Structure formats: structure tokens, C-alpha cells
């Protein structure tokens, strides 16, 4: 089909035709016989036969979901993760509050305080995933690459709160220290093949 043909929206043209459909029954008896006819014709087995045939062919395209998962693209925006600094394991988040500011669905809340070593410390950090629209602005605005979108898209739990606490989103400390923390590609991320220096704050 050429583009011109495709763009032609004139339905009066001959390549449009009407589907041949029987007249709907009008009398009660005709309606009754239509029901009987449909009930005993065995149309259901037509569909079942297709399934059965494909099953015995062993040519299955279905993903065995809980056991198998499709790889997701690096740009997929699922539940947030809070990253740590390499080696020292200190939280990357400096508590600047830009994610809270930029969040268009107003689902991030951050409370900070002055800690013992006179640094700004995040005392509470929550994301209300019931409100979050996963737009990714928080990750984009983060000056420290501290909040990123991870790949965990299974939002199933007994309580929504399970996903929203800072501690749950924060990388486990051992994976930060042994270097298995996953760096997420995306805006402002470390470019591939670039050697990552040890954290300068490790003193």
C-alpha cells in the first residue's frame, strides 16, 4: 500500500466493503432459536483446540512470569533506589531537597538535621508510591546521583509503606563496600568504560 493510498480517507472508494452480518432476530421465537443454535454449536471447542494444539507442539512463547522475567531497559523507571558512595558506604544523599522540590506529584518528603559530625543528615525520607507517577524528575535533578530509578517493578506487598522508607530503598551497605552496587545509566550517570575513582570522602 502506497503512502498516498494509506492516507486516503475517502470511504466512498471501492476498496471499502461492508461486512456480511445476519439480520438480528426480531421475533421471540427467532431469538430463542439463535440462543439454542449458539449454545450447541461448540464454538468454545474451536478456541480450546487452538490452545491444545499449541501445547503439544511445545513451541511456547509465554514467559513463565514469576520464574522468568523479561530484561528491562536501563531507562525503565521503576521503584527508586538510594545509592551509597563507593568504599565508605556513606549515603550519597546530601539532603539538598531538590527531589522534594521538583516532584510534580508531591510524593517525596524529606526531613534533615544537623548530625554529630556537623554534616547535614537525612533523618526521614519517604516516597509515597501511591502518588508517584514515576516521571523520573527526582533522579534527573539529583546532584549526587543518590536517588535513581531501579528495576524493581513488582509493587506487591501487604502495605504500600513497605516501598517508601529510605532504609528499604538504600543500597545494602555490604554491596556498596564490596563494589557490587549497580550504577544506573542515564542522565548524568557515569559513562561506561570510565574508571571510577575511589570516593574522595573516604578519609
Partner 1 sequence: MNKINFKLDGIDVEASSDETILSVARRVGLYIPTMCYLKKTTPSASCRLCVVEVEGVDGMILSCQAKPTQDISVTTNSEALIKERTNIMKLYSVNHPLECGVCDKSGECDLQNKTAEFGIDQQSFSAKDQYREVKEWGLLGYNPSLCIMCEKCTHVCNEIIGDDAIEIEYGGYSSTITPKGSDTLDCTFCGECIAVCPVGALTSSDFHYRANSWELTKVPSTCPHCSAGCALEYEVKNSHGGEKIYRVVNDYEHTTLCGAGRFGFDYIADGSKDEMKLQSAVDAIKGAKAIRFSSQISNEEALMLQKIKEQQGLKLFNEDARVYSKFTTPFSSLATREDVKSSDAILILGSRISSDNPAIRYAITEASRHRGASVVNLHPIEDALMQNVITQFVKYEAGSEEGVMALLVQRLVCDVDDATKRYLDSLDDGYLSAESNFGEDELDEIAAMLSRKESRVIILGADLLSHPRAENIAVLASLLQRYAGFKVLVVASQINTVGVSLICDLDLDDKSIDGTVGYGMPAEFTISYDDSADLQVAPLSQQEGTVVTLDHQLLPLNVAVEFNGYVLNDIANILGIGKRDTVDFTSELPQSAGFKSTAFDLLENFYQHDGLDTRGYFIDQTESGANSTLEDIEDLAEFNGTVIYRCDEVLQFNALTAKCAALGADSALVGSAQFAVAARVSDGDLITITSAGTDRVREFKLDNTLKGTIALEPMVDREPLSLLGRYRYEKVTITKGSCDE
| Residue selected from 25, 143, 179, 185 as contacting partner 1 according to rule CB under 8 A | 143
Shortest approach of partner 1 to residue 137 CB, angstroms?
Answer: 15
Of 3-11, 26-34, 47-55, 92-100: span binding partner 1 (CB under 8 A): 92-100
CA distance 10 to 197: 64
Whether 80 and 164 have beta carbons less than 8 Å apart is answered as no
Contact call for residue 94 and partner 1 (CB under 8 A): yes
Whether 187 and 136 have beta carbons less than 8 Å apart is answered as no
Question: Burial level of 133, CB count in 10 A (0-12/13-18/19+)?
Answer: exposed
Nearer CB in complex with partner 1: 121/140: 121
Whether 121 and 112 have beta carbons less than 8 Å apart is answered as yes
Shortest approach of partner 1 to residue 104 CB, angstroms?
Answer: 15
CA distance 185 to 166: 21
**Contacts of 53 by beta carbon, 8 Å cutoff, 6+ apart:** none
Contact call for residue 161 and partner 1 (CB under 8 A): no
Shortest approach of partner 1 to residue 122 CB, angstroms?
Answer: 10
Segment 95 to 134, residues that bind partner 1, using CB under 8 A: 95-98, 100-101, 109, 111-114, 118-121, 124, 126
Shortest approach of partner 1 to residue 115 CB, angstroms?
Answer: 8
Interface residues with partner 1 (CB under 8 A) are: 94-98, 100-101, 109, 111-114, 118-121, 124, 126, 143-144
Amino acid at each position: 500500500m502506497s503512502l498516498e493510498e494509506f492516507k486516503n480517507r475517502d470511504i466512498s472508494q471501492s476498496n471499502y466493503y461492508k461486512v456480511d452480518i445476519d439480520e438480528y432476530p426480531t421475533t421471540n421465537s427467532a431469538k430463542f432459536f439463535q440462543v439454542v443454535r449458539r449454545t450447541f454449536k461448540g464454538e468454545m471447542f474451536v478456541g480450546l483446540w487452538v490452545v491444545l494444539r499449541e501445547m503439544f507442539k511445545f513451541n511456547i512463547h509465554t514467559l513463565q512470569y514469576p520464574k522468568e522475567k523479561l530484561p528491562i531497559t536501563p531507562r525503565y523507571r521503576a521503584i527508586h533506589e538510594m545509592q551509597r558512595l563507593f568504599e565508605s558506604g556513606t549515603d550519597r544523599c546530601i539532603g539538598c531537597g531538590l527531589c522534594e522540590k521538583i516532584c510534580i506529584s508531591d510524593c517525596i518528603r524529606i526531613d534533615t538535621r544537623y548530625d554529630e559530625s556537623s554534616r547535614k543528615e537525612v533523618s526521614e525520607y519517604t516516597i509515597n508510591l501511591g502518588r508517584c507517577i514515576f516521571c523520573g524528575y527526582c533522579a534527573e535533578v539529583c546532584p549526587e546521583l543518590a536517588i535513581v530509578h531501579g528495576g524493581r517493578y513488582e509493587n506487591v506487598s501487604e502495605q504500600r509503606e513497605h516501598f517508601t522508607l529510605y532504609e528499604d530503598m538504600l543500597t545494602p551497605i555490604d554491596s556498596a563496600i564490596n563494589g557490587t552496587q549497580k550504577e544506573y545509566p542515564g542522565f548524568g550517570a557515569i559513562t561506561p568504560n570510565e574508571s571510577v575513582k575511589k570516593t574522595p570522602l573516604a578519609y
